Copies of this chain bind each other. A is one copy, B any other.
Amino acid sequence: MPVEWAGSGPELLITIDRDGVPGLRAQLEDQLRAAIRGGRLAGDERLPSSRELARALGLSRGLVQDCYAQLRAEGYLTSRPGSATRVAAGAASHQDPAPAPRAPGRPRHAVADFRHGVPDLRLAPREDWAWAIREVCRTAPNTAFDYGDPLGDPRLRAVLAAYLRRVRATDATGDQVVVCTGMAQALGLALRALAADGIGTLAFEDPGAPASTIAQASAAGMAAEPVPVDEDGLDVAALARGGARAVLVTPAHQWPTGVVLAGHRRLELIAWARRHDGVILEDDYDAEFRYDRDPVGSLQGLAPDRVVSLGTVSKSLAPALRLGWLIAPDRLLDAVTRGKQVADRGSPGLDQLALATLIESGRYDRHLRRVRAEYAARREALVAALATHAPALRVTGLAAGFHAVLHLPPGADEAELVEEAARRGVGLYGMAGMCRTTPAQPRLVLGFGDTPRRAIEAGIAAVADLLRCRWSETAAVPRA
């Protein structure tokens, strides 16, 4: 059994496998070296003492001392007599600026960035993925290197079907699972299949679907029409008043309001689909991340004939893997199949087998438990910081996923607040930009997926006065 050490924070995970190859010292050395090179251990960062690390990993202290000595000799670590071992400044071969400038022109937020939509890349399961690919390369039959089934490797499809049945209560066999290049492709294939089936309009949640979703609908030749969301999720009565025969929803954890689609709404939505010969697209984007209880089961399990379920490992493992899937009812499966065949003749085969291997080996679940604990702690830190610094404001959204919603007082100016926070080095994001119709109420969407706990606390503290007093005073004054 591997033994793990999560360091002082979540940033560094060392996994020692006693039965593994290479030996224990090489495992430790390799992982420390990789962490320094990759920037997960920053220059001048203090390492635990050899005694502490040895105890945490169940290794001998001498082994850890040897390892530290080796890495000092190689220039990765430094230490002065009597003081702690530290990462050598400039040892990272790839500087990994924090926060990373993901999009050109994005301003940096020195104190904290509450952006959303990305998990913490420092938690990406580097070792697990390398291990899984190695296993596949060692053991897969030669045919695994050929063009595969365009719908996906049969083994992964069966593994996913079983996994989703277990954790999401879906109702599908592997035959209905199509492996895609991320959820983006899954949604695109589903939309083209709907268009081919004669469905011309996609309804989407408001606030909700980003511009890229509307662009995908348009590329499939479909119009897109917003439907309001309230505290029970999508307003099904409003949907029924529109003309759409397909709707894209996020039932487990509505993006971005964070509500769950209520039970009665689920039944209404399915009844709507049956009545109008409609199709429900279920975006199950962060369903593995519920912190207070088991997540609400998939809508697909209630109406497998009416629901296309879309999933991804972008949040659970890493977006770069580009592994997603859809589960389609039989009536759409042929069109999806043709679409996938024409699009790219199938997704990469070894990556698919690696994901199957991760799930089957239990490493996927273990990784999820590890990162889920960290994200839960971040959410608690956020809620606690808001209770301290903005006790009058309401926080909504399930204890789930990677974001919460902060309700500002009526009359507060989202845009001005966001601007002032940015001047203080804090990245905040208003809800208004995600709404098609002017929202009744100013709100902030606070992402915590890529925001370490200390930054969460520091960030909220830095804007505390903005959240506390400013708006209640000006609330009644109309702005010019």
Interface pick from A50-58, A133-141, A298-306, A393-401: A133-141
Complex contacts, A96 vs chain B, CB 8 Å? 141-143
Q: How far is the CA of A142 from the CA of B127 in the complex (A)?
A: 13
Q: Which of A1-43 contact B (CB under 8 A)?
A: 21-22, 26, 30, 33-34, 37-40
Q: How far is the CA of A39 from the CA of B143 in the complex (A)?
A: 10
Whether B145 lies near A137 (C-beta < 8 A) is no
Q: Which of A109-140 contact B (CB under 8 A)?
A: 118, 121-122, 124, 126-127, 129-130, 133-134, 136-140
Query: Which of A141, A145, A146, A147 has the most chain B CB atoms inside 10 A of its CB?
Result: A145
Dominant secondary structure of chain A at its interface with chain B: helix
A351 on interface, CB distance cutoff 8 Å: yes
**0/1 interface trace, chain A 363-403, chain B, CB 8 Å (1 if under):** 00000000000000000000000000000000000000000
Please give the distance in Å from A428's CB to the nearest CB on chain B: 21
**Cross-chain contact of A37 among B22, B130, B138 (Cβ < 8 A):** B138
Closest to A122 in B: B142
A184 on interface, CB distance cutoff 8 Å: yes
Q: How far is the CA of A314 from the CA of B348 in the complex (A)?
A: 11
Whether A38 lies near B140 (C-beta < 8 A) is yes
Q: How far is the CA of A346 from the CA of B188 in the complex (A)?
A: 13
A73 on interface, CB distance cutoff 8 Å: no
Complex contacts, A148 vs chain B, CB 8 Å? 320
Please give the distance in Å from A118's CB to the nearest CB on chain B: 6
Please give the distance in Å from A55's CB to the nearest CB on chain B: 26
Copies in the complex: 2
Whether A121 lies near B100 (C-beta < 8 A) is no
Complex contacts, A137 vs chain B, CB 8 Å? 34, 126-127, 129-130
Query: Which of A118, A319, A323 has the most chain B CB atoms inside 10 A of its CB?
Result: A319
Q: How far is the CA of A314 from the CA of B344 in the complex (A)?
A: 13
Q: How far is the CA of A318 from the CA of B146 in the complex (A)?
A: 6
The number of chain A residues with a CB under 8 A from chain B is 67
**Cross-chain contact of A345 among B93, B130, B138, B184 (Cβ < 8 A):** B184
A267 on interface, CB distance cutoff 8 Å: no
Q: How far is the CA of A188 from the CA of B100 in the complex (A)?
A: 33
A216 on interface, CB distance cutoff 8 Å: yes
Please give the distance in Å from A204's CB to the nearest CB on chain B: 16
Q: How far is the CA of A267 from the CA of B474 in the complex (A)?
A: 74
Q: Given A140-B38, A147-B320, does the pair A342, B181 have CB atoms closer than 8 Å? A: no
Whether A138 lies near B142 (C-beta < 8 A) is no
Whether A181 lies near B348 (C-beta < 8 A) is yes
Whether A100 lies near B142 (C-beta < 8 A) is yes
Closest to A138 in B: B34
Complex contacts, A323 vs chain B, CB 8 Å? 348
A215 on interface, CB distance cutoff 8 Å: yes
Whether A139 lies near B320 (C-beta < 8 A) is no
Whether B348 lies near A138 (C-beta < 8 A) is no
Please give the distance in Å from A13's CB to the nearest CB on chain B: 13
A257 on interface, CB distance cutoff 8 Å: no
Q: How far is the CA of A350 from the CA of B94 in the complex (A)?
A: 15
Closest to A215 in B: B342
A180 on interface, CB distance cutoff 8 Å: yes
Whether A37 lies near B146 (C-beta < 8 A) is no
Q: How far is the CA of A30 from the CA of B138 in the complex (A)?
A: 8
Whether B34 lies near A147 (C-beta < 8 A) is no
Please give the distance in Å from A335's CB to the nearest CB on chain B: 12
Closest to A218 in B: B342
Q: Given A133-B130, A321-B348, does the pair A141, B38 have CB atoms closer than 8 Å? A: yes
What are 29 contact pairs spanning A and B, CB under 8 A? Answer: A21-B30, A33-B138, A38-B139, A38-B142, A94-B140, A96-B141, A100-B146, A124-B142, A124-B145, A127-B137, A129-B350, A130-B136, A130-B137, A144-B320, A146-B318, A146-B320, A181-B347, A185-B344, A185-B345, A188-B344, A215-B342, A219-B342, A320-B350, A322-B344, A322-B345, A322-B347, A322-B349, A343-B343, A348-B351
Interface residues of A (CB under 8 A from B): 21-22, 26, 30, 33-34, 37-40, 93-96, 100, 102, 118, 121-122, 124, 126-127, 129-130, 133-134, 136-148, 180-182, 184-185, 188, 212, 215-216, 219, 314, 318-323, 341-351
8 more contacts with CB within 8 A, not counting A34-B138, A40-B142, A322-B344, are A96-B141, A124-B142, A126-B145, A129-B350, A145-B320, A212-B341, A215-B341, A320-B350
